[in-house]
Amino acid sequence: MKPLHFSLLLLLCLSRTDHGLGRNSGHDQSKCILLEADKGSTLKVFHISSPCSPLRPKTKNPVSWEESVVQTLSEDRARVTYLSSLVVFGKSDSQVAWGRQLIQSPTYIVRVSVGSPPQSFLMAVDTSNDAAWLPCSGCLGCSAGVGSSLFASDKSSSFAGISCGTSQCSKVTSSTCSQNLCTFNQTYGSSTISSTLSQDTITLAQDTIPGYLFGCIQKATGSSVPPQGLLGLGRGPLSLLSQTQSLYKSTFSYCLPSSKSPNFSGSLRLGPVAQPQRMFYTPLLTNPKRPFLYYVNLLGIKVGSKIVDIPPDALAFNPTTGAGTVIDSGTVYTRLVEPAYIAVRDEFRRRMGKAVVSSLGGFDTCYTAPTTIPSITFMFQGLNMTLPQDNFLLRSASTSSNLACLAIASAPNNVNSVLNIIANMQQQNHRVFFDVPHSRLGIARETCT
């Protein structure tokens, strides 16, 4: 059977209740759509809380908008704390994602086929990780939910476990040998995940990649094991980018759909073909200690027409301390180090005049039915990104409360944080083009379809 048949899938609505961000609970009239096969080198990207997402959290009592915001912020905090600690306290090993902690925030997912004949899986897209993994059959402690089955490696004729002492195994930090196979542990939240380094053919849209290396999860202990796989898009020695160098030339772009759009579909375009020809770019910077992260040079932030007065070292890139700004697909709300956040927030509040400020979870700048709202512009080297309101104002789904919050937060102050993170809400409905060979990142507005 051709791989194509496997990506032609009808995703069934699994739940009639709705608790996606920004949607009305209990009034889900959306019809789940027939997903057409992914074509060429472009994969459809879905928001995890899409009505058609099999991974949409299923709870008996749908959470309120306020609760879901607080919950997302707290999940974000764990990721931000992890990314911050990674750049500040870490040792200078570059294979961190493959041998240590693993943080996966599955906000955006794609469908990937693995094996011969191909088996279809959902995988989280994560630009700050260079690892890939799948829960495998026989896994102890993995949860196989609906739409998130385990990979049956024994049914794939092209599957192979990687032996100890191979060059591939040596790239994994702190691997151990188990029955002559290269195994490694990672922590995910409060859980420990034990995987075998493995290889098999994967199919991304219509592209077939033989011998792709990933972690086949054999054992998971703990309660926070995510049900789906991970497709890391970071740069690194075992990353997707490195493994598909001849095919995709370390280039990709995505358009992340808004969680508010009814169809929630965006795209992940792999390789140099069909990328935007004309757009503004900002240089990609490399921290030699954490080469898989995508650092950019954020020079300043404008609120309305005013360039906010931010201490220069709150934004400056410093590969020694890890300070600077990364662009990340897995964090939901942009985090700025405290002095930068306070300067932006104070100017935003000043522009809002006498309107009464309230707070919600970690957001401290919320208004009821705000009217004139100043714009926000990230001033990157070579590129000013003026955010449409939907990219920085989080509006309550319920018309009765009419609350709107500035959806940018201060980096958690329990870590000695030096990292600013441009997160996915701020990138939604933009084409973001990672052009690694030219060390540049392009950003242009685009309505994701």
Ligand X SMILES: *[C@@H]1O[C@H](CO)[C@@H](O)[C@H](O)[C@H]1NC(C)=O
Active site (catalytic) residues: 126, 328
Q: How far is the CB of 136 from ligand X (least distance, A)?
A: 14
Q: How far is the CB of 104 from ligand X (least distance, A)?
A: 18
CA atoms within 13 A on the CB side of 360: 26
The Cα 149–Cα 109 span in angstroms is 15
Of 194 and 253, CB closest to ligand X: 194
219 binds ligand X (CB under 6 A): yes
Of 4 and 35, CB closest to ligand X: 35
Of 379 and 407, CB closest to ligand X: 379
Residues in the chain: 449
Q: Which of 138, 237, 262, 291 forms a contact with ligand X (CB under 6 A)?
A: 262
Alpha helices in 264-358 (DSSP H): 338-351
Of 185 and 206, CB closest to ligand X: 185
Q: How far is the CB of 258 from ligand X (least distance, A)?
A: 11
Q: How far is the CB of 289 from ligand X (least distance, A)?
A: 23
The Cα 413–Cα 327 span in angstroms is 20
Token match 């219509």: residue?
206
Question: Mask of contacts with ligand X, 52-71, x by CB under 6 A?
Answer: --------------------
Three-state DSSP class for residue 412: coil
206 contacts 39 by C-beta, under 8 angstroms: yes
Q: How far is the CB of 226 from ligand X (least distance, A)?
A: 16
Q: Which of 7, 107, 153, 194 forms a contact with ligand X (CB under 6 A)?
A: 194
DSSP string, 362-389: TEEEEEES--S---EEEEETTEEEEEPG
Residues paired with residue 441 on neighbouring β-strands, in sequence order: 282, 434
173 contacts 183 by C-beta, under 8 angstroms: no
Angstrom CA distances, 424 to 177, 255, 400, stand at 38, 10, 27
192 binds ligand X (CB under 6 A): yes
Question: Mask of contacts with ligand X, 159-178, x by CB under 6 A?
Answer: -----------------x--
Q: Which of 25, 201, 259, 263 forms a contact with ligand X (CB under 6 A)?
A: 263
Joined together, the tokens standing for residue 443 give 């950003």
Q: How far is the CB of 142 from ligand X (least distance, A)?
A: 12
Q: Which of 17, 185, 275, 429 forms a contact with ligand X (CB under 6 A)?
A: 185
221 binds ligand X (CB under 6 A): yes
Q: How far is the CB of 306 from ligand X (least distance, A)?
A: 10
Of 140 and 369, CB closest to ligand X: 140
The CA angle 193-190-360, to the nearest 5 degrees, is 135
Which helix (H) or strand (E) is 140 found in, with range?
A: strand 132-140
404 contacts 395 by C-beta, under 8 angstroms: yes
Which helix (H) or strand (E) is 393 found in, with range?
A: strand 393-395
Size of the site for ligand X (CB under 6 A): 13
Instruction: Work out the number of other CB atoms within 10 angstroms of the CB of residue 121.
Output: 24
Of 262 and 276, CB closest to ligand X: 262
Chain positions 16 to 45 lying near ligand X, rule: CB under 6 A, are 33
Nearest partner of 446 among 182, 269, 207, 290, judged by Cα: 269
Alpha carbon distance, N-terminus to C-terminus of the chain: 29
Q: Which of 101, 206, 208, 384 forms a contact with ligand X (CB under 6 A)?
A: 384
Chain positions 354 to 383 lying near ligand X, rule: CB under 6 A, are 379, 382-383
Chain positions 242 to 261 lying near ligand X, rule: CB under 6 A, are none
Of 69 and 383, CB closest to ligand X: 383
Which residues of the chain form contacts with ligand X (CB under 6 A)? 33, 176, 185, 192, 194, 219, 221, 262-263, 379, 382-384
